[in-house]
Structure 1
Amino acid sequence: MDTKHLYEFFENQKENLSFFKVKTVKEAVNITLREVKQIQEKLVEIIQNEDKQLDELFQNLNDNEYRKTLLSKQKTKQRWLRLYAIKIEPNHYVITGGAIKLVHKMGQSEFTKKEKITIEKCRNYLIEQGVYDADSFYELIL
């Protein structure tokens, strides 16, 4: 992870850090680096442990959405760090991107707006290609 980029990012987002009770840009960068490491460690643990599932890491993108939908939009979150994905079926995901989310709603930030568009484009593409489960996804990519 490029720490110079993180410093620049948080310098431009200082006003949003107070919500998280973070006082300095340096503190925000350090928290972010720790969170990235934690997500990486969780992914490695899931890959290496047959008893672990990706479903333990991801949840619905919309916190109020509980219905099962075809190719549902998902997120994993660590404080302000987000990883976005499309759930093909249990334990099968297409990761579409990630962002630092310092605002309440995705539409309030240019960074999260971009990810919202990307995840929707990816979902639409998969549907257009006839993807509805893991088998149809693997047929598409192989």
Structure 2
Amino acid sequence: MKISAIFEITKESLYAAHFDGTERDEWSDFFDRMTDVEYLHGFFSENSADLKNGFYADQYGDISVEEAIEITLEEIEQLENQLLTLSRTGKESSDTLQTLFKPLNNDDYKQPSLQKNKATGAKRKSWLRIYAIRISANLFVVSGGAIKLTADMNERQHLLHELEKLEATKNFLREQGVLDEEDYEILTLNLWQ
């Protein structure tokens, strides 16, 4: 898995990886899939056991595929708007992207260089996840996104794939010499062209 380019979503704030062999950058791919009713129907139908008996069973009970689609469509619009708003206002405010992105590992209290992060939908227990590498409080590179219906990412292949993309994005940034916000110029010179 190799990154072929990085695309700008919001200048100096939010970017997305584009992997070799894929048609779109990860931001566009994630939000297009999460608003595609046909894709969502297929996903929730294929993962109906996780939907009904998994991590969210206590919150939603005996939820139908159609109800899951409706919840996803409501939440995805909010998530996209929050990310875009914070990416713009975070340059002049204390409410940065870091307000929404949290460490991938819930027990990770430090902020190491190129930390793996996740952002979730607004509901208390949202199954929407967008994954990114944190460069600084308001500078993130999105590596992908998914619907997470299980407690552990290692339980499903599509989530393992997201972990691989996160690692590939982190490695790519490290190889380019981007370790923190001070290295941002390396990105603007080499990656966004």
Partner of 2:38: 4
Partner of 2:180: 133
Task: Answer whether contact 2:146 2:158 (CA < 8 A) is retained.
Answer: yes
Partner of 2:149: 102
4+ residue segments displaced more than 6 Å:
none
Identity %: 36
Q: Which consecutive residues of structure 1, in runs of 5 or more, have no partner in the other structure?
A: none
2:73 pairs, out of 8, 24, 33, with: 33
Pick 1 or 2: higher relative contact order, CA cutoff 8 A, min separation 6. Answer: 2
Q: Greater shift after overlay, 25-34 or 43-52?
A: 43-52
* d(CA) in 1 for partners of 2:116, 2:45: 30
User: Normalising to structure 2: TM-score of the pair?
Assistant: 0.69
- Greater helix content: 1
The total of aligned residue pairs comes to 142
DSSP-derived class of the 2:105 partner: coil
Partner of 2:107: 64
* d(CA) in 1 for partners of 2:188, 2:84: 23
Q: Which consecutive residues of structure 2, in runs of 5 or more, have no partner in the other structure?
A: 1-34
**How far did residue 48 of structure 1 move?**
4.6
**How far did residue 53 of structure 1 move?**
1.1
Question: Deviations 1:13-71 (Å, cap 9, x if unpaired)?
Answer: 11111242252000000011111011012123224534231111100000011122110
